[in-house]
């Protein structure tokens, strides 16, 4: 059985309810500097802050991380202004406008719930949930508040993805019975990591609600590949692409999933590193393939239509018409020259000030994460599952 069934406990909600909603009523003008709190200061957070530097007027006012060198690096980045905290709940007591959360997955919902209770708007990295059950909790928390939550599904703000979705929804491809997705990465090439100074790390706090276990540098760095903390490729990588498929095809309710997967290279991981999977939706299938020791081709999607095929990745897209252009001559081509994370962060900052719905609202993040979680359940149950599950 998946060890992923970690859930928020009653104590978590009591903590959230006791937080002070500081700065929740500050009215922001278009030119006001946003006071940002950083929760989880690893590599992905640095990517988000680099995008934010190009997106809007903000100041890092506080940082929380259980590893001291990462806290110190963010404080330095803030020119010494940011307060530093081991416990993220202390950060939430600071006068902040927004928090950006890029912690391991098993912390996402708890931190977001607490942040909203404290009166903060939230940018929450994907996958927004660690378990299927957490989806209802996160959605209810956001929709019963007046807070903005932007899910880290940056394709939703990426201009060429918008253009591609318009073409697909406008019927340019004909009927689309199959969407192919893929993502290859090479973790063998990423093994040169800086040793962790365990004296500077609060490992127990890092574990949080996960089962108690000895410190592991492998788990600290590649936590996405252990059920206690992440969900492997299906919630790290597939989540992005299935979100694009949901968006383009106007359908996000799967009926069946199956998977053929192995731990072919990284036998120490919980999650499989080599995957072929398929998810069925009414009228179309989404297939995924990938492995984690080969990075040729990177990641992308192909929408296979009866009249044309659209191939898209983060670098651009091209449309190939059946019987006209051939495989080497697209009839439509668009390139991307700007990281969509910049526009996604800009959209978040704009919505914090305007109070409008962000490009990736909570529901989109929940169903994208759920699709990968359903495939992971199939992996644990002899390779296939119908959805919703029938009562036993």
DSSP assignment string, 223-288: GGGSTTT--THHHHTHHHHHHHHHHHHT-----EEEEEEE-SS-TTSSS-SEEEEEEEETTEEEEE
Query: Tokens standing for 215?
Result: 């410190």
pTM of the predicted structure, to 2 decimals: 0.92
DSSP state of 64: E
DSSP structure class, residue 122: E
What is the structure's pLDDT at 190?
72
3-state secondary structure 160-208: HHHHHHHHHHCCCCCCCCEEEEEECCEHHHHCCCCCCCHHHECHHHHHC
What SS3 state is found at 63? Answer: strand
How far, in Å, CA of 27 to CA of 32, rounded?
A: 9
Domains and CATH numbers, the chain: 10-156+342-360 (3.40.50.720), 159-337+372-386 (3.30.360.10)
Sheet containing strand 384-386, edge to edge, reads 332-335, 316-321, 308-313, 299-304, 178-183, 284-291, 274-281, 256-262, 384-386
User: pLDDT tens-digit profile of 289-316?
Assistant: 999 999 999 999 999 999 999 999 999 9
Per-residue confidence (pLDDT) for residue 152, from 0 to 100: 98
Find the helix packing angle between 159-169 and 238-249, rounded to 10°: 40
As to burial, measured by CB atoms within 10 angstroms (0-12 exposed, 13-18 middle, 19+ buried), residue 191 is exposed
The reported pLDDT for the residue numbered 30 is 67
Residues sharing a CB contact under 8 Å with residue 363, sequence separation 6 or more, in sequence order: 139
Q: What is the pLDDT of residue 21?
A: 43
The pLDDT score that the predictor gives to residue 326 is 63
User: Strands 284-291 and 149-151, how do they pair?
Assistant: unpaired
The low-confidence residues of the chain, meaning pLDDT below 70, are: 1-25, 30, 325-327, 392
Beta bridge partners of 60: 36
């Amino acid at each position: 059985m998946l060890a992923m069934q970690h859930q928020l406990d009653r104590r978590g909600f009591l903590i959230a309810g006791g937080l002070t909603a500081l700065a929740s009523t500050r009215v922001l003008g278009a030119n006001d500097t946003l006071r940002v709190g950083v929760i989880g200061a690893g590599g992905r957070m640095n990517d988000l802050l680099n995008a934010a530097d190009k997106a809007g007027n903000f100041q890092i006012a506080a940082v929380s991380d259980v590893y001291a060198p990462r806290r110190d690096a963010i404080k330095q980045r803030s020119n010494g202004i940011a307060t530093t905290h081991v416990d993220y709940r202390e950060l939430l007591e600071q006068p902040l406008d927004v928090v950006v959360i890029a912690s391991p997955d098993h912390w996402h919902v708890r931190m977001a719930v607490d942040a909203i209770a404290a009166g903060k708007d939230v940018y929450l990295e994907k996958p927004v949930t660690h378990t299927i059950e957490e989806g209802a909790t996160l959605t209810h928390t956001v929709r019963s508040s007046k807070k903005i939550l932007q899910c880290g599904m940056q394709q939703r703000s990426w201009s060429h993805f918008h253009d591609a979705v318009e073409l697909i929804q406008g019927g340019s491809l004909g009927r689309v019975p199959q969407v192919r997705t893929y993502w290859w990465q090479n973790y063998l090439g990423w093994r040169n990591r800086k040793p962790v100074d365990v004296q500077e790390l609060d490992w127990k706090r890092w574990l949080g609600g996960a089962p108690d276990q000895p410190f592991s540098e492998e788990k600290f760095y590649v936590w996405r590949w252990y059920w206690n903390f992440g969900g492997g490729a299906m919630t790290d990588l597939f989540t992005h692409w299935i979100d694009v498929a949901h968006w383009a095809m106007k359908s996000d309710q799967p009926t069946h999933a199956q998977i053929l997967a192995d731990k072919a290279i990284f036998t120490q991981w919980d999650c499989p590193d080599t995957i072929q999977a398929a998810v069925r939706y009414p009228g179309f299938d989404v297939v995924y393939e990938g492995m984690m020791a080969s990075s040729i081709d990177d990641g992308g999607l192909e929408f296979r239509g009866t009249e044309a095929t659209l191939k898209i990745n983060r670098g651009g897209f091209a449309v190939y018409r059946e019987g006209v252009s051939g495989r080497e001559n697209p009839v439509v081509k668009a390139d991307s020259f700007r990281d969509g994370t910049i526009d996604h962060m800009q959209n978040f900052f704009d919505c914090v000030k305007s109070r409008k719905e962000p490009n990736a609202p909570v529901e989109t993040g929940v169903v994208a994460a759920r699709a990968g979680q359903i495939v992971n359940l199939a992996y644990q149950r002899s390779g296939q599952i119908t959805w919703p599950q029938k009562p036993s």
